[in-house]
Amino acid sequence: MTDTEFNPGPKNLRRGFRARIDHDPEPPATLTRAQAKRLSPEDLASYDDARLTWFASDVLIDTPTSSALIKQVKRLVRTRRPVAVGERTIALSGASHVGKTTALFQLAREIEADARRDDPDFIARGHSPVVYLEIPAGCTPKGVLAMVLNFFDVPHSYRAATQQDLMKWAVEQFRVHHTKVVIVDEMQMLRLRGTTGDDTINTLKNLLNQAGVTVVYAGVNLREGLASLAAQQLLKRAKFIHATPYENVTDLGRATWLNLVNYLGSEMLLIGADENHLGAHANDLYRRTGGSIGNMRMLLADVMELAIEQRGADMHEHVTVDILAEAAEGFEGWAAA
C-alpha cells in the first residue's frame, strides 16, 4: 500500500481529492467453494479482508440521484461558453446518508473522464477540471476564499491579505487550473437562515460568478434552510435535484430496490452464494434501512462480515434472516428516521 493510499489527505485538498478520484481498484476474484478450500488459512484470511474492504469502500453504485446529477451537470458543462454571462448552478439537496457526497464524487469522476478525453495529459499539466470545496462550520467570507486557495495548495497570508486580494487570487486559481465544475458540499454550514451567514454567501456567489464555472451546491435540506435574501438569491436560480431514499411503494420503486439489493448481493462476492441470493431479503432490508443507500451499505458490510465469520467447513457463505437481524442490532432507528 502506498503512502497516498494509506493516507490520501483531506478530500477538500487537491491531492486528497485526486487520490479519491483516481482510486479505481479491481474487485477480488470470485472463488468457488472448491477453490476456496484449496487456500491456506493465511491466504483465505487475506481474501476475506480484500472482499470486505472492496464491499465496504470500493463498490460504486449508480443511484437515480447520481445519474440525474451527472446528466444535468454534464449537459451544463457541454453547453457552456466561457464568455457567457450568468451563473449556471445545480443544487443537490436531501437528508443525510442518502449518498449525496458519493454522487458528487461520481460526478467528479465523470467530468474528469471527459477532460481526459479532451486532453490525456491534463493532470500532468496541473489542470483541475473539478474542484471540491467543503464548507466548514462557522465559515467566514475570507474563509470561503482561503478554502479555494487551500484546495490548490496556494500559499497565502489569510490574516494579512484583504478580502479583495484573496478574491482575486481565488478567481485566478480557477482560470489557471482550467476548472469547469466547482462542487460546494456541506452548504447547510453556511447558515442559510439569519443575516450572519449573508456575507459569506454573497462572497461565495461573487467568487463563483467571477470564476465562470458550473457550480454544484450540495447540502442537507437546502430549500428548507433558505430564509435570508442572500441564500434565496444563491439557490433560487439553481436547478434542484433531490436526493431521496429509495421508495418501496410503487411497482417501479420496488423493482429498482430489488435490482439494487441484487447488485449489492453480487458485489459481496460470497463464496458459494447463488445469484440474486440477497433478493429474498429485499423487503426486510428496506424495512431496516428505510431505503437509505448509506445505511444499506453499512448494514450489508456488517452482514457480509458475519456471513464470512459463520462460514462452515463446506465453505458456503450465505445471508440468513438471523445474520440480518444480528447485523441490524442497534440500527433499528434508521427506518423511523
**H or E stretch covering 216:** strand 214-220
Phi/psi at 7 (5° precision): -140, 90
Residue 184 or 211 with smaller CB distance to another protein: 211
Applying CB under 8 A, among 172, 199, 284, 305 the residue interacting with another protein is 172
Task: Kindly tell me which residue out of 66, 102, 106, 173 binds another protein, with binding defined by CB under 8 A.
Answer: 173
Residue 311 dihedral angles phi and psi, to the nearest 5°: -65, 135
| Residue 89 phi, psi dihedral angles, 5° rounding | -130, 155
Smallest separation, CB 206 to another protein (Å): 17
- What is the grid cell recorded at 304? 457480509
249 binds another protein (CB under 8 A): no
Residues 175-214 that bind another protein (CB under 8 A): 175-177
Interface with another protein, residue 154, by CB under 8 A:
yes
Q: Of the candidates 125, 159, 312, 330, which one interacts with another protein according to CB under 8 A?
A: 125
| 76 φ, ψ (degrees, to nearest 5) | -65, -45
Q: 144 or 241, CB closer to another protein?
A: 144
Binders in 211-230 for another protein, by CB under 8 A: none
153: left (phi over 0), alpha (psi -120 to 50) or beta: left
Q: Does 121 bind another protein (CB under 8 A)?
A: no
Query: Among candidates 130, 138, 238, which has minimal Cα distance to 186?
Result: 138
Q: Does 155 bind another protein (CB under 8 A)?
A: yes
Contact 276, 318 (CB under 8 A): no
d(CA 230, CA 232): 5
* Selected binder of another protein within 4, 56, 95, 169 (CB under 8 A): 169
Listed ranges 59-67, 69-77, 136-144, 148-156: which one lies at the site for another protein (CB under 8 A): 148-156
Round to whole Å and give the CA distance between 53 and 234.
Answer: 39
**CB 108 to another protein: min, Å:** 16
Residue ranges binding another protein (CB under 8 A): 14-15, 124-126, 128, 152-155, 157, 169, 172-173, 175-177
